[in-house]
Structure 1
Amino acid sequence: MDESMFTRRRYANLIQFVCFVSSLEPKNVKEALMDEAWIQEMKEELDQFIRNKVWILVPRPTYANVFVQQMQQEFEMSMVGELTYFFDLQVKQSDDGTFVSQSKYVKNLVKKFGLKNAKHTNIPTNTTLKLSKDEQAMKVDPTLYRSMIGSLLYLTASHPDIYYSVGVCARYQANPMESHISAVKRIIRYVNSTVDFGIWFSKDTNSNLVCLSDADWAGNADDRKSTSGGCFYLGNNLVSRHSKKQNCISPSTAEAEYIVVGSCLTQLLWMKQMIEDYGLI
């Protein structure tokens, strides 16, 4: 086996434990079709296909079976034109760089969950209140809660400022309480006040890889575990980020910081290897 391929695979396996993913994601189509939130998300994706005229649904021929075949069509970029919208991502290109946002998606999200006229907030999380299991509180509809979390996770593509807050709230999808849905609604009120926020990718940059990392020592109120966080930049541009609860309890802030630094260095090495493989540096 080629050594570079082995290196990428090894780093990829390590990164799987670094990046945050929901443990409640369905394992197959059958499980997804049993969850109203996932059905709604799939319907929204299909509606996007229809609006963008990606495909046309036609009746199945009665005289033949259906075969799935990958089809490829080449386009001249001069005929297609400049990309301005792609799967709820709004793209604005200029001589200086590219700005990616989801303002239309935010407006639809806020309207969908009935918070269009709710009071705005300037930060996504209450800094004086830590979420916990809160098992004595009143339960809320888990389907609604998961739908809100899923919608916000999709929004993190252009709003990295809510990535940590949404990740913390996502931990309570199995048994959400009033305090949890209140925290999610606060995030939605925040994005409603930052509709036009997005990510700027500047052309005036360099190929230096940089990571900014931090950890909140014993920040989880349930098990006293810390949460690692990191933002990765290629020159001036944000290209990746992660937020994950650490696997062990750190007895000191120094140990919590060592763990997050180790995780970030692992991903930096993987990214460096990928960039070298593509001949960018």
Structure 2
Amino acid sequence: MIIMGSDAEEIAKLRRNLFTDFEMKDLGGLKYFLGIEVLRSSKGIFISQRKYILDLLVEIGMVDCKPIDTPMQVNHKLKMVEGATLADKERYQRLVGKLIYLSHTRPDIAYAVGIVSQFMHKPQEDHMEAVMRIVRYLKGAPGSGIIFKRNDYLKVEAYTDADWADNPNNRRSTAGYFTLVGGNLVTWKSKKQKVVALSSTEAEFRGIVKGITEVLWISQLMTEIGFPPQSPSQLKCDNKAAISISENPVQHDRTKHVEVDRHFIKEKIENEIIELPFVRSEEQLADILTKAVLK
């Protein structure tokens, strides 16, 4: 059990009441919980799953495997192939399940894990090889994780992107976002879209909607705990066409199929809840590496 709060007296009272009714032991400051390691220093709080990764390597006999630099091949095009050799379904599902849990502190594998998790029902050998590649990538840096620094601001920022029609089986796009509060990474997600996008702009557009929804949820949560946003949140996107459509009040025939999304985004921009600046793809990646991530 983890007890958190800003009132030391109330925490002490709760602890006494728990000790009265249950056999419990106070383990002090949080250091390890459900496979997640927590380290504190003058720089901030660092969380990782190093031991969890090392235990996984031992379990599957890959302690001595050769590390690799990336969790997935570029332009992998993983798909279901008719007549391909099947992999061990139970082993595949168990491995992917562990990788999904590792995604809690390793946003760098979120996209790759999202891809391999799409084949849980009938995994093939190519899919198992992709899973093993993720494991080899983790072997290269098992101690990586996320650091939370105490900065002097609480601005909410988000980045969104989409890979148009990347699924070779049904041509659905994969979109993703990550959000930062005060320069610290707090949420991230990569997921295949539910409908086929007719253009890269539409794929990016739907990704923006998911990103804004997440920003609104975080802003509401911060307001409830006493830290309401003092300025519009920024959601950065690398698609100028999607930004233009979001800000343009004129309806276009080619955007009628995403008209509801367009009005949703436009409303948040007009109410000065969201700002939608353009950022180049390479700059977006640089910001991710600088602000968000793995140490």
TM above 0.5: yes
Correspondence for 1:160 = 107
Correspondence for 2:243 = none
Report the residue type matching 2:18 in the other structure: Q
Q: What SS is found at the alignment partner of 1:241?
A: strand
CA distance in 1, matches of 2:152, 2:134: 32
Report the residue type matching 1:253 in the other structure: S
Q: Which sections of structure 2, spanning at least 5 residues, go unmatched? A: 2-15, 21-25, 229-295
Correspondence for 1:36 = none
Q: Match for 1:218 among 152, 162, 165?
A: 165
Correspondence for 2:136 = 189
Q: Tell me, yes or no, if structure 1 residue 109 matches structure 2 residue 109.
A: no
CA distance in 2, matches of 1:157, 1:135: 34
1:193-212 → structure 2 map (5 Å cutoff):
193-212=140-159
Question: How far apart are 1:274 and its partner, in Å?
Answer: 1.3
1:215-270 deviation digits (Å, cap 9, x = unpaired): 00111111011011000100111110111111111121111111100111111112
Correspondence for 1:269 = 216
Is contact 1:135-1:177 (8 Å) kept?
A: no
Is contact 1:214-1:230 (8 Å) kept?
A: yes
Question: How far apart are 1:115 and its partner, in Å?
Answer: 1.6
Q: Tell me, yes or no, if structure 1 residue 180 matches structure 2 residue 127.
A: yes
Is contact 1:124-1:190 (8 Å) kept?
A: yes
- Alpha-carbon spacing, 1:113–1:92, altered in 2? closer, same or farther (3 Å): same
- Alpha-carbon spacing, 1:191–1:272, altered in 2? closer, same or farther (3 Å): same
Q: Match for 2:79 among 132, 135, 152?
A: 132
CA distance in 2, matches of 1:112, 1:268: 39
1:174-215 deviation digits (Å, cap 9, x = unpaired): 000000000000000000111110000001242111111100
1:44-193 → structure 2 map (5 Å cutoff):
73=18, 80-193=27-140
Q: Which sections of structure 1, spanning at least 5 residues, go unmatched? A: 1-48, 50-70
CA distance in 1, matches of 2:166, 2:17: 49
State how many pairs are aligned.
209
Q: What SS is found at the alignment partner of 1:267?
A: helix
Let me know the Cα RMSD of the aligned residues: 1.8
Correspondence for 1:32 = none
Question: How far apart are 1:136 and its partner, in Å?
Answer: 2.0
Of residues 162-171 and 134-143 in structure 1, the stretch that sits farther from structure 2 once superposed is 134-143
1:44-71 deviation digits (Å, cap 9, x = unpaired): xxxxx9xxxxxxxxxxxxxxxxxxxxx9
Of residues 88-97 and 160-169 in structure 1, the stretch that sits farther from structure 2 once superposed is 88-97
Q: What SS is found at the alignment partner of 2:66?
A: coil
Report the residue type matching 1:244 in the other structure: K
Question: How far apart are 1:100 and its partner, in Å?
Answer: 0.3
Report the residue type matching 1:130 in the other structure: K
Deviating above 6 A after TM superposition, structure 1's stretches of 4 or more consecutive aligned residues are none
CA distance in 2, matches of 1:115, 1:135: 30
Question: How far apart are 1:89 and its partner, in Å?
Answer: 0.8
Q: What SS is found at the alignment partner of 2:119?
A: coil
Correspondence for 1:227 = 174
CA distance in 2, matches of 1:187, 1:107: 14
Q: Whose relative contact order is higher, 1 or 2, with alpha carbons under 8 Å and at least 6 apart?
A: 1
Correspondence for 1:280 = 227
CA distance in 2, matches of 1:129, 1:174: 20
Is contact 1:134-1:179 (8 Å) kept?
A: no
